Amino acid sequence: MTPNHQLEPLSSKELDYIMDCISNETMLAKHCAATAAATQNPAIQQALLGFVNRHEQHLDMLVNSLQAHSSVAPTQLSNHD
């Protein structure tokens, strides 16, 4: 953030990174959930479901970050006449 605590638009590289992170967190949550459903060991199931929760928290943080920056995102005008 800038010294006056205003958000600045994200660069395309930053957006790409956040989108990759969202994709990865989604994939990891799904894999943990599928493995938890397949295992018979309650301790492993509990650990994996904890990982699912953590990945979902990360996903929420990433999405919230994108939403917070949406108000300062540049708009693109189309030149269709």
Q: Tens-digit pLDDT profile for the chain (81 aa)?
A: 445 568 888 888 999 999 999 999 999 999 999 999 999 999 999 999 999 999 999 999 999 999 888 878 776 544 554
- Residue 4's pLDDT is 58
- The CA–CA distances, whole Å, from 71 to 50, 77, 79 equal 33, 16, 23
Q: Which two tokens stand for residue 38?
A: 């397949």
Q: Judging by beta carbons within 10 Å of its beta carbon (0-12, 13-18, 19+), is residue 35 exposed, middle or buried?
A: middle
- Residue 47's pLDDT is 98
How many CB atoms are closer than 10 A to CB 24?
14
- Residue 5's pLDDT is 67
How many CB atoms are closer than 10 A to CB 55?
20
